[in-house]
Chain A
Amino acid sequence: MLADAAGEPYSAYLLLGMMILLAAGFACAPLVLSAILAPKKPGEIKESAFECGLESKGDPWVQFKVQYYLCALAFVIFDIEVVFIYPWAVAFTGLSFGAFLAMGVFIILLAESLIYLWIKGVLTWK
């Protein structure tokens, strides 16, 4: 049967289609079989939303301040700054004037953004 199919102009697509069907069946079969075969013994605790030894308390839809986001953003910026400055500082004596200048520009840019954040009042926790 496959030999016949190979003669057809679209045989490659036929095989691909069969492959897709087989793959989908292989992936779905365990889900369908377990839905049919698994014994169902529900209970109040089993049906609860979270799988935890402790009972969940309060409302999960908690609102939190947007200030957390700004603080996290500022933290990420200065965290990256440390990552760049540290290797630069270690290799400082062996570096050219160009490297010093480049790092100077980088630090000035970040310092400028820090001053901007300061003025905007991000650093004061309300």
Chain B
Amino acid sequence: MTTENLNAGFDLDDTTRAELERAGVIVSSVDSLYNWARGGSVWPLTFGLACCAIEMIASATSRFDISRFGSEVFRASPRQADLMIVSGTVTKKMAPQVVRIFNQMPEPKWVIAMGACAISGGPFKQGYNVLKGIDRYIPVDVYLPGCPPRPEAVLQSLNYLQEKIRTQDIKSDPAFTKGRRQYPVPRFTGTDLEPPYNPEVWQPPANPNAKPLEEATA
């Protein structure tokens, strides 16, 4: 039986669904069942880069208790992890390793860019040796701002991620289609990364202050 057949006939509107739920009948599609199961058991990778990692560790302790959301199983191997929390400053020397580990995680996989550094380079943005956002090389699902963000914020970002997982469509999502996929690993040349970004996941933003070409040349 294909997923198409299973999903057929479940296009109920929310009112009917709620009415059925009141009567003790839960109607669900394969997609929502898959997504419910996946969203409730997101296993993060045991992977910390800088001070944000301390807050990530704190979110797993009993005071904050990430296991309430099914993510207490921090895996030490990328082969068993679903979620990469890029927790901290990604230096240019470290970026190839981060991308390589991300490539070793099985699909479907998600990324939380934790803290100002992982999002944009943070306070080191003007520096010479810090990557200005990990989203230049791998697709980031949730941006978690803060310097560092508190464990509660880590949990909220996980909730946002679960919300995103709930909307995933198995038939159209590239993670579920057959074929090979690998994000190109940048090369550290000693001073910079080559290439500077992966154009498939990130493009430099247009400069609003840039003069039109004719005006600049005139």
Binding site for B on A (CB under 8 A): 38-46, 48, 51-55
Residues of B within 8 A of A46 (CB): 103-104, 106, 182
Contacts of A40 in B (CB 8 A): 178
CA distance A38 to B103 in the complex (A): 16
- Check if B100 is an interface residue, CB within 8 A of chain A: yes
Chain A interface mostly helix, strand, loop or mixed? loop
Given A43-B182, A45-B182, A51-B78, output 9 extra A-B contacts at Cβ < 8 Å.
A39-B175, A39-B178, A41-B106, A42-B180, A43-B103, A45-B104, A46-B106, A52-B101, A55-B100
Q: How far is the CA of A9 from the CA of B96 in the complex (A)?
A: 67
> Which B positions have Cβ atoms within 8 angstroms of A?
77-79, 96-98, 100-101, 103-104, 106-108, 175-182, 185
Contact A45 B185 (CB under 8 A): yes
| Most A Cβ at <10 Å: residue of B107, B176, B177 | B107
**What does DSSP make chain B's interface, helix, strand, loop or mixed?**
loop
Chain B residues within 8 Å of A51, by CB: 77-79, 101, 104
Which residue of A41, A44, A51 has the most chain B CB atoms within 10 A of its CB atom?
A: A41
Residues on A with beta carbons closer than 8 Å to the beta carbon of B182: 43-46
* A45 with B178, Cβ < 8 A, contacts A39-B108, A51-B78 known: no
What residues on A are CB-neighbors of B181 within 8 Å?
A: 41, 43
Q: How far, in angstroms, from A88 to B186 measured CA to CA in the complex? A: 61
In the complex the two chains form, what is the Cα distance from A8 to B77 in whole Å?
A: 50
Q: Decide if A45 touches B97 in the complex (CB within 8 Å).
A: no
Once the chains are docked, how many angstroms separate the CA of A53 from the CA of B175?
A: 22
- Which chain A residues border B97 with CB–CB below 8 Å? 53-54
Least CB distance, A72 to chain B, in whole angstroms: 28
Interchain residue pairs with CB less than 8 A apart (23): A39-B107, A39-B175, A39-B177, A39-B178, A40-B178, A41-B107, A41-B179, A41-B180, A41-B181, A42-B180, A43-B103, A43-B182, A45-B103, A45-B104, A45-B182, A45-B185, A46-B104, A51-B79, A51-B104, A52-B101, A53-B98, A54-B100, A55-B100
